[in-house]
Amino acid sequence: MQAVHGAMANFRLALIQLHVSAIKSENLQRACGLVREASAKGAKVVALPECFNSPYGTKYFKEYAEKIPGESTQKLSEVAKECSIYLVGGSIPEEDCGKLYNTCAVFGPDGAMLAKHRKVHLFDINVPGKIQFKESETLSPGNSFSMFDTPYCKVGLGICYDIRFAEMAQVYGQKGCQLLIYPGAFNLTTGPAHWELLQRGRAVDNQVYVATVSPARDEKASYVAWGHSTVVNPWGEVIAKAGAEETVLYTDIDLKKLAEIRQQIPILSQKRCDLYGIEMKK
């Protein structure tokens, strides 16, 4: 069982359920304003939603794409440093060597980039009569796991569709992550069906905290996000949940509780590695 460091056993997490418009500069300005507000209310780790600087859709990715570092990530770096927080920059469309990625950049209290997660599993689905979407029409997949350290705990990153892949969360658990953060924009078909279920599954299977950060719902958008940014504890309980509108969701993450749960139900040490295994290949 991992030791929990005295005063660092608790920290405040803020999830920014941003209303995203078609104007990039406005999205950036409002995101940074809400980051400052969250920091003023004691948040030490702050997360933005998937595609926070642009509308979500294959037709928008190329138009809004940027290099990393670039305009959007520069702003995130500056506000993380100004507020002295860990900032999980949701995701933005990233352009690199002629390819586009759905990418989350994380910045530390000194403004340095700590991680860059490119969405590993692309959202290609077809539910007849309800929703069809194919990210792979324009995006390329990332090829790596992404973790970063804080004075509180190690954090693992995924983006939206990544949450459906239990193996990814298990690898993060094996590597010592105690909080998994998934910026994500589920929709009005998959949201009510699976959004909370998947988070609770990832949390209880790996005895970790799971946080998801959605954009606010905009009924007029071409892709309507479900909203309902959520935090689930390692017992599988939903401890915070937003509605559909723009809001900042605050939760105190209690790592002592995580340690207690792992002691009470010690599944992590009871795994039958002689019978099965999940491994990180790269």
Active-site choice (24, 44, 75, 119):
119
CA atoms of 203 and 232, how far apart (whole Å) = 7
Of 50, 66, 135, 246, the active-site residue reads: 50
Taking the C-alpha atoms of residue 229 and residue 47, their distance in angstroms, rounded to an integer, is 11
Is 119 catalytic? The answer is yes
Task: List the catalytic residue out of 116, 160, 177, 246.
Answer: 160
Cα–Cα dist 115/204, whole Å: 25
Closest CA to 229 of 188, 195, 190: 195
Task: Compute the distance between CA of residue 151 and CA of residue 172 in angstroms, rounded to an integer.
Answer: 17
Spatial separation of the C-alpha atoms in residues 197 and 180, rounded to whole Å? 15
DSSP string, 114-179: EEEEEPSS--EEEETTTEEEEGGGT-----S--EEE-SS-EEEE--GGGGG-HHHHHHHHHTTEEE
Determine the distance from the C-alpha atom of residue 66 to the mean position of all C-alpha atoms in its chain, rounded to a whole number: 20
Is 71 a residue of the active site? no
Residues identified as active-site: 50, 119, 160
